[in-house]
């Protein structure tokens, strides 16, 4: 697709209208950048709105901004889901509503229903191809998230499973005997809601996250999930299979058969539920970043591509050494870093970002963070 030479050139194009995209767009505004656009594939907060009806945030929200501590689920200084929604653990629908309200409050220039097909660097500009035409920008922030890209890979027959991200409500699932593959947050969440309705659940995980000897929630289960595993109905109806990798899933007559790597076979009349995570949208722009050994993009200290200048990453795919920024309260720490880097390249002082430092958020790089930092 050709781009008109007379078309408007944005200083920044943000791809994604979820927590990362909205949050970094607000940081751009605080940095003094006005000529930007946010491109959203569906509607603002759509990934959250698509969560199973029963699923809640595992990180609690508290209206703590008044004492200088951001609500864990806030994406900007001065806003709080707890204060706005008056709930401690928001549902996906509630959080999507919060994001839309924040977008309106900050008057963010969001273009919804705009699917980005391709991004290419042409000279000093980025050409962004969409179904409705092409856009041009001097910088691009990829903040498309991961929840719209569920993973069914990892073993033969994965396509026979149903990913938990595609379930509108656990209440509507037919069957009384379920196999869940994946014992981290979404797997425990599914087991909790199914056993609440007296369903039998066999929960498999290649590790044992409910007994991980670490306080890092990127590895161990949250206390919210740990507490729910102690409910009577969970302990009564769930059979746990830790350290049990899955080899394959197959149809055998009218049954689904799950075979573990040690040769054991388990059957159920309903498709196994896959709670094994997401592919992540960062793979859609893999050609614009160097790759780490773990498959995630390799980033500069300002979360910029090391091979395509002007291409930035925000959201749960951000990695620095062993630091995993997969929760909102983690990756929001990087918003001001990206906004300041772009503002500096545009010759702007970014003075409005100094407040971020006062709230304990990064403004330059990781230099303020030690190995034992609670954020990382």
- Decide: helix, strand or coil at residue 64: coil
pTM: 0.92
Tens-place pLDDT, residues 317-345: 999 998 889 899 999 999 999 999 999 99
State residue 322's pLDDT score.
87
- Average pLDDT estimate for 347-368: 80
Q: Which residue from 146, 150, 144 is spatially nearest to 115, judged by alpha carbons?
A: 144
pLDDT band at residue 253 under the 50/70/90 scheme: very high
Residue 296 and residue 319: Cα distance in Å, rounded? 7
pLDDT of residue 366: 62
Report the Cα 262 to chain-centroid distance in Å.
33
- Contact predicate 249/265, CB 8 Å: no
Structure confidence at residue 151 as a pLDDT band (50, 70, 90): confident
Ranges of each domain in the chain = 9-148+279-358, 158-274
pLDDT band for 212, please (50, 70, 90 cuts).
confident
- CATH code, 9-148+279-358: 3.50.50.60
CATH node for 158-274: 3.50.50.60
Nearest in space to 341 (alpha carbons), one of 369, 319, 364, 366: 364
Q: pLDDT averaged over the chain?
A: 91
* pLDDT at position 6: 52
299 in helix, strand or coil? strand
154 band by pLDDT with thresholds 50, 70 and 90: confident
Query: How many angstroms separate the Cα of 76 from the Cα of each of 79, 182, 281?
Result: 6, 32, 23
Please check whether the two domains, 9-148+279-358 and 158-274, share a CATH topology: yes
Listed ranges 63-72, 156-165, 360-369; the one with the highest mean pLDDT: 156-165
Better-scored residue on pLDDT, 89 or 147: 89
Give SS3 for 106: coil
Contact 357, 367 (CB under 8 A): no
pLDDT of residue 234: 96
């Amino acid at each position: 697709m050709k781009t008109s030479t007379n078309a408007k050139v944005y200083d920044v194009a943000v791809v994604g209208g979820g927590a990362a995209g909205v949050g970094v767009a607000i940081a751009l505004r605080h940095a003094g950048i006005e000529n930007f656009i946010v491109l959203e594939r569906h509607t603002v907060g759509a990934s959250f709105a698509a969560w199973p009806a029963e699923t809640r945030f595992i990180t609690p929200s508290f209206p703590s901004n008044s004492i200088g501590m951001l609500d864990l689920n806030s994406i900007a200084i001065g806003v709080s889901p707890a204060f706005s929604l008056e709930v401690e653990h928001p549902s996906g629908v509630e959080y999507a509503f919060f994001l839309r309200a924040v977008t309106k409050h900050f008057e963010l220039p969001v273009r919804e229903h705009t699917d980005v097909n391709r991004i290419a660097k042409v000279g000093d500009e980025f050409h962004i191809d969409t179904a409705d035409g092409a856009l041009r920008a001097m910088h691009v922030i990829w903040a498309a998230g991961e929840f719209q890209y569920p993973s069914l890979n990892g073993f033969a027959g994965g396509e026979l499973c149903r990913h938990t991200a595609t379930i509108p409500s656990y209440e509507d699932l037919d069957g009384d005997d379920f196999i869940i593959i994946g014992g981290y947050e979404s797997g425990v969440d599914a087991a909790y809601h199914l056993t609440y309705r007296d369903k039998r659940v066999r929960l498999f995980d290649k590790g044992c996250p409910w007994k991980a000897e670490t306080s890092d929630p990127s590895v161990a289960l949250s206390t919210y999930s740990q507490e729910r595993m102690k409910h009577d109905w969970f302990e009564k109806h769930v059979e746990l299979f830790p350290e049990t990798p899955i080899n394959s899933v197959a149809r055998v007559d009218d049954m689904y058969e799950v075979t573990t790597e040690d040769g054991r076979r388990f059957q159920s009349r309903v498709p196994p539920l896959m709670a094994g995570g997401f592919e992540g949208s960062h793979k859609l722009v893999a050609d614009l970043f160097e790759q780490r050994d773990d498959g995630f993009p390799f980033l500069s200290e300002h979360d910029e591509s090391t091979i395509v200048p002007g291409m930035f990453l925000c959201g749960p795919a951000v990695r620095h050494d062993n630091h995993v920024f997969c929760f909102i309260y983690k990756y929001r720490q990087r918003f001001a870093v990206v906004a300041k880097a772009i503002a500096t390249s545009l010759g702007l002082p970014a003075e409005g970002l100094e407040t971020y430092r006062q709230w304990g958020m990064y403004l330059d790089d990781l230099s303020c963070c030690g190995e034992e930092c609670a954020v990382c």
